[in-house]
Amino acid sequence: MPPRRPKTPKSKLDPPAVARLPAVTPATSLQPKQSHQHFDRAARGVMAKLSGGVSNHAFIEAWSDWAQHLARSPGRQLELIEHAQQNMFKLLASTTDRDAEPPFTPRPYDHRFTHPDWQKPPYAFWQQGFLAVQDWWDHATEPMRGLCREDAERARFLARQTLDLVSPSNFPWLNPEIIEATRDTAGRNLTEGMTKFSRDMLKTLSGHRDPPPKGFEIGKDLACTPGQVVFRNDLFELIQYAPQTEMVQAEPILIVPAWIMKYYILDLSAHNSMVRYLVDQGFTVFMISWCNPTADQAELSLEDYRKRGVLAAIYAVSAIVPDVPVHAVGYCLGGTMLAITAATMARDGDTRLGSITLMAAQVDFVEAGELLMFLDESQIAFLEDLMWEQGYLDRPQMARAFAAIRSEDLIYTRNVQRYLLGRDDLPSDIGVWNADTTRMPARMHSEYLRALFLENRLTAGRFAVESRVIALKNITAPMFVIGTETDHIAPWQSVYKTQLFTDCDLTFVLTKGGHNGGILSEPGHKGRHYRLSHRAEGALYTGPDAWLAQHAPKPGSWWPEWTEWLRSKTGDAVPAPPMGAAEKGYAPLMAAPGSYVFQP
């Protein structure tokens, strides 16, 4: 266990008793008081498994709200009729003039119509007809006066999901790429695809996982930066990476990854490992490797992850590299937890954090993107029933929600390639990591969804730790915040709002890419660019749209900018510290990547 820190003297500025709120919904919300409720929750848990954890109540309510508002809006109905006529005329015009530009184009991430024969008749007409209908539904589900915006977005989502199901690209007799492959292989693509479908279905039903393909072995090809596990409890292992330079920066770095993923997204292959890059640049790096919780750990709480996770890791790093600040880095949900920990430490007068880096991490959840479509009281209660039965939320259940947001590419394009064209998925390091799924304990996930996503307590001044509210404005350590341009999990505008709720010195970077790809932006990565700005402590706030217009993109990777920023904060070069500190209870336990990363 980490050494006990002396109690911080109580400040005269402590919030009054009236402000002392419970941090999150009590755990008893997951434990029905009446026995007959167990039957109800078990039944709803089965329904949740069948639906992938998605409640149909919210979507039925959304359709009803949309339809009623449309029914009492005759002007809107006329507008939609006119829009349908315009789309029809555009479609007819494109069939008579083959040299004209197609009037409708797929979304940038939609790769279903990339085969060149989609531009030839009759496939072009089918493609354009589908896109015309899609365009009409996008217009029809735009917000109307009086219509709840969330219901409009859910109605659009449902319309899009229905259309994606009947896209001409999904049918072998309408897709020119499938027709060509069937002709060239005498139908072998279909038989091989059905074999793959049967094998995948059996694996899904049985829960079996294939081992990583050759060349992507964890600990050898992935997560292979040398180091030692120097601390372990039931929640996480702490990895200290071996120095690669004789002299290192005096102050260490602690990385807090999200608990919904294995940590090695940040220590992937040798060429794109952020950890290896930092170590090669002369930094002493520590990494939290979270456990993959089982049903026995269903009662792990959000407070456990803060106190016995992030805070315990800070204690350990401070003991191994004593008398200097720790520079903490948080990714995704790990960044949110780091922000909560940092605000709590600031409230209590704990100054051990020298700087804070938040990568694709949100502190405000009002604009949390399309994931909010799946989150309301009905949906969270549905997930709680699912977790109540099995003790955790399995990541495949959550991954289906992520995939549905980009179903064109993540579901249908892949399924056509694999099951109708008979092509194997090309192995990749990020693909292997993405398939290495994790679970989330029931209590913690319920608390997280309610306190942050649903009630947005952190930036509303209503998030309490140890019965006292915390405020991000109390953080004085300098911050480096990274958003990614096409992130549909943590939209960059939402990440940018960290500037609205803090007053400290802050550097913001907006980089090309998505939630994972934008962070894995190593030097030499082709086609990368980023925007960068610095906000001095106490400076006025600039909105995201104005900020974007004021900052032109720079070519290349943002990593060198970040490492130079870190170097300016982490002191002078000193001899590399030893691995662990056995005399303080942090002896090396085993070689990296440790044991928790292998938990199935």
Active site residues: 332
As a whole number of angstroms, the distance between CA 379 and CA 39 comes to: 19
As a whole number of angstroms, the distance between CA 336 and CA 340 comes to: 6
The H-or-E segment that residue 538 falls in is: none
As a whole number of angstroms, the distance between CA 545 and CA 32 comes to: 47
Q: How far is CA 428 from the centre of its chain?
A: 19
Residue type, 415: N
**Which residues touch 189 (CB under 8 Å, ≥6 apart)?**
178, 181, 182, 420, 421, 422, 423
Residue type, 349: G
Q: Which two tokens stand for residue 47?
A: 């329904």
Residue type, 464: A
Q: In angstroms, what CA-CA distances link 18 with 10, 23, 467?
A: 17, 14, 10
As a whole number of angstroms, the distance between CA 172 and CA 159 comes to: 23
**Which residues touch 17 (CB under 8 Å, ≥6 apart)?**
none
* Helix, strand or coil, per DSSP, at residue 321: coil
Report yes or no: 587 and 231 within 8 Å, Cβ to Cβ.
no
Gap between the terminal Cα atoms of the chain: 26
As a whole number of angstroms, the distance between CA 275 and CA 361 comes to: 18
Residue type, 463: F
Question: What's the per-residue H, E or C state across 22-50?
Answer: CCCCCHHHHCCCCHHHHHHHHHHHHHHHH
As a whole number of angstroms, the distance between CA 299 and CA 273 comes to: 33
Beta-strand runs (E) in 313-416: 326-331, 353-359, 392-394
